[in-house]
């Protein structure tokens, strides 16, 4: 019988966290160790460590094995780049993957001087919530338990370990492959998250045997040992199956990505963002969407994108690293990248806003317009079928349909400067480098190769010829031939 570490519910005992990440994840069919498989924004183990670090443990011990050096480097990178931090980060190496019990055993040297509660997590369960872990630890301490675990009641217990109870007392966990038919019908499963009293952990692990179907040292067997000694075992029963979703296959990684997205979208909607069809929207964690924005179906907000209040994104848009200020209206079919959109703009439908585009207040970009390194000042308009590249457009200037800034001669790029209150007639080619000064007008169909001076009219146009009766004659000749 083990003497338990003295705890009183009023003073929480110190916390150490062990994260198991020695597995290689054969079923991922990848050269990367499983812990380093990525969701859209993080490695699996980073997700777990970000959550774990929020509990402010005294130390975190990461157990590595397969490609251990590489996993350790990547884990440290998470600290260096500020994703998470911890008072003490330690590593343990499991030489051979002999089971989850053996994995925790290899962490014991890093826990030698630790007295308190050891929380054990798996590096491939990225959806575990901070609140659930806090609840588990509180329960563990309130019940003065030796081992506490998280379980889940499910209609599909599948290959999970079964929680076996005697009345309400948990007595053991039996792996699916070792279950009797009766045990297999139990629908309460083991999530593989445990809080264990440090004084109990070491002797319990040292007694583990591998006499089971997989010939592994099962961590789960410490539960039967505690029960046999008459120690208290507490169980926190969860109801959100998604929270304990592990990742063993690429399909399960896809499910995790979907769940992370659902959580984020739910949070944004609770904060006051209107999302018309949550199932078709992707929003990276790195984006900021303010309450009062409205996002239609089939929209991807990626990278460091900010969407302010009152913005309407109609739908079918990909917006990457772009800041859209309040009240702007992004119509259907828009792609934006590394751009800035000022207050009250209208963009699209079907517009391509490329890197370096800066739209001032109340700018209008209409259908089939492409901008690249184009700075448009307040009130400027390009409503139809236009390419604006390497250019500036002054306040209230109007760019007619079919205007092209010819910025490239096949070797280098050149700039076009358009002043304020300029009117560019339809179907004009502005051959850069060229400047069109304030208040000037360019006649429709012009090819502008020289600077246009302030308030002037410039046009290049072949004179119009007229031949009266020409069409009628032609029609009549054709009719005679029939
Ligand atoms: C484990 C539990 C099972 C539970 C399930 C929940 C055991 C014996 N079984 O089973 O009751 O229902 O999780 O998902 O614990 N690992 C190592 N070294 C090893 C083996 C595993 O570090 O030698 C790590 C893996 O990288 C992984 C975690 O431990 O992060 C869990 O291992 P895994 O093999 O997936 O356990 P399961 O068989 O799923
Ligand atoms: Ca697993």
pLDDT in tens, 428-462: 999 999 999 999 999 999 999 999 999 999 999 99
- Identify which of 222, 251, 198, 171 has the alpha carbon closest to the alpha carbon of residue 18: 198
- pLDDT of 3 over the 60 cut: no
Does the CB atom of residue 25 touch ligand 1 within 6 A? no
| CA 106 / ligand 2 centre spacing (Å) | 19
Mean pLDDT value of segment 126-133 = 96
Q: How many angstroms separate the CA atoms of 235 and 294, rounded?
A: 42
The predicted structure's pLDDT at residue 12: 81
Class of domain 15-244: alpha beta
365: tokens are 């970009």
CATH 2.160.10.10-classified regions of the chain? 261-458
The predicted structure's pLDDT at residue 10: 54
Q: Which residues of 382-400 are buried (b: 16+ CB within 10 A; e: fewer)?
A: bbbbbbbbbbbbbbebbbb
| CA 16 / ligand 2 centre spacing (Å) | 22
Q: How many angstroms separate the CA atoms of 297 and 292, rounded?
A: 16
* pTM of the shown model: 0.85
Q: What is the dihedral of CA 66, 70, 71, 73, to 10 degrees?
A: 160
Superfamily of 261-458 according to CATH: Hexapeptide repeat proteins (2.160.10.10)
* Residue from 71, 122, 220, 235 to probe ligand 1 pocket by mutation (most atoms less than 8 Å from CB): 122
CATH 3.90.550.10-classified regions of the chain? 15-244
| CA 242 / ligand 2 centre spacing (Å) | 14
Q: How many angstroms separate the CA atoms of 341 and 157, rounded?
A: 50
- pLDDT of 88 over the 80 cut: yes
Minimum CA distance residue for ligand 1 atom 38: 160
The predicted structure's pLDDT at residue 1: 47
142: tokens are 């309130």
Active centre residues (catalytic): 384
The predicted structure's pLDDT at residue 5: 53
Task: Looking at the CA of residue 64, tell me the nearest atom of ligand 1.
Answer: 22
Q: Quick one: pLDDT band at residue 221, thresholds 50, 70, 90? A: very high
DSSP one-letter string for 212-253:
STT----TTHHHHHHHHTT--EEEEEE--GGGG---SSHHHH
């Amino acid at each position: 019988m083990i003497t338990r570490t003295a705890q009183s519910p009023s003073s929480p005992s110190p916390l150490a966290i062990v994260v198991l990440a020695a597995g290689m994840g054969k079923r991922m069919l990848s050269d990367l160790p499983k812990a380093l498989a990525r969701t859209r924004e993080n490695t699996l183990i980073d997700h777990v460590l970000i959550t774990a670090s929020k509990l402010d443990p005294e130390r975190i011990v990461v157990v590595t094995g397969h490609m251990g050096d590489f996993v350790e480097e990547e884990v440290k990178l998470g600290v260096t780049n500020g994703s998470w931090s911890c008072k003490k980060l330690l590593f343990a190496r499991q030489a051979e993957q002999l089971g989850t019990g053996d994995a925790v055993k290899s962490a014991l040297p890093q826990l030698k001087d630790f007295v308190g509660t050891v929380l054990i997590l798996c590096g491939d369960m990225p959806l575990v919530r901070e609140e659930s872990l806090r609840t588990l630890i509180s329960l563990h301490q309130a019940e003065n338990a030796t081992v506490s675990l998280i379980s889940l009641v499910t209609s599909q217990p599948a290959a999970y370990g079964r929680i076996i109870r005697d009345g309400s007392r948990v007595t053991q966990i039996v792996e699916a492959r070792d279950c009797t038919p009766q045990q297999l019908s139990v629908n309460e499963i083991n999530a593989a998250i445990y809080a264990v009293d440090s004084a109990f952990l070491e002797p319990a692990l040292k007694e583990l045997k591998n006499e089971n179907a997989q010939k592994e040292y099962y961590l789960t067997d410490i539960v039967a040992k505690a029960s046999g000694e008459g120690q208290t075992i507490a169980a926190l029963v969860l109801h959100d199956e998604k929270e304990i979703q592990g990742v063993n296959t690429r399909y399960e990684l896809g499910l995790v990505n979907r769940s992370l997205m659902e959580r984020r979208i739910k949070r944004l909607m609770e904060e006051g963002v209107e999302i018309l069809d949550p199932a078709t929207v992707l929003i990276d964690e790195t984006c900021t969407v303010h309450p009062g924005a409205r996002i239609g179906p089939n929209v991807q907000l990626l990278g460091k994108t900010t969407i302010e209040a009152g913005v309407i994104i109609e739908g079918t848009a990909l917006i990457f690293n772009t800041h859209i200020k309040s009240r702007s209206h992004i119509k259907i079919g828009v792609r934006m990248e590394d751009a800035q959109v000022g207050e009250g703009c209208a963009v699209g439908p079907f517009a391509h806003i490329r890197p370096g585009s800066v739209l001032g207040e109340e700018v209008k970009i209409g259908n089939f317009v492409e901008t690249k390194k184009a700075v448009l000042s307040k009130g400027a308009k390009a409503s139809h079928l236009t390419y604006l590249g390497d250019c500036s457009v002054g306040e209230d200037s109007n760019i007619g349909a079919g205007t092209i800034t010819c910025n490239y001669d096949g070797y280098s790029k050149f700039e076009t400067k358009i002043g304020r209150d300029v009117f560019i007639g339809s179907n004009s080619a502005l051959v850069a480098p060229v400047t069109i000064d304030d208040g000037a007008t360019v006649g429709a169909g012009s090819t502008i190769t020289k600077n246009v001076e302030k308030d002037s009219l410039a046009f290049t146009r072949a004179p119009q010829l007229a031949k009266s009766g020409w069409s009628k004659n032609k029609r009549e000749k054709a009719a005679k031939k029939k």
